[in-house]
Amino acid sequence: MSMLSILGVGLFIGWLLLMLSASVAEYRYYRAVALLEPEIWVQLGAPNHWVAPFMFLVTPDRKRLLDTVDNPHVLVFKQRFKVAARLFLAYVVAVLLSSIAFFKWA
């Protein structure tokens, strides 16, 4: 295996792990809203099955509704989701920028 293919596999594994981490954090956050704030969950109009957090779009109205949550446990999951999502996006942007730079000057 060449060095570039090893690097590519490493970058893919990093992307995969960060994506899975962000997905799990998002699922746990929405699941916490469903379990600990059921009235808000119903107002969101979210489905009532295990895949529910991924089945609806967070519109500005729904975001305002989610911002009214004051349960400390839900807020912890929200913070974890924000951190994981930002890490994933930062990784994707860094890889894209470094790839552009590599192919421009290579």
Q: What is the chain's pLDDT, residue by residue, as a tens digit (106 residues)? A: 788 789 889 999 999 999 999 999 998 998 899 899 999 988 887 766 665 555 567 788 888 998 999 999 999 999 999 999 999 999 999 999 999 998 898 7
If phi over 0 gives left and psi between -120 and 50 gives alpha, with beta otherwise, what is residue 45?
left
CA–CA separation, 21 vs 38, rounded Å?
Answer: 25
Whole-structure pTM value = 0.83
d(CA 46, CA 56) in angstroms, rounded, equals 6
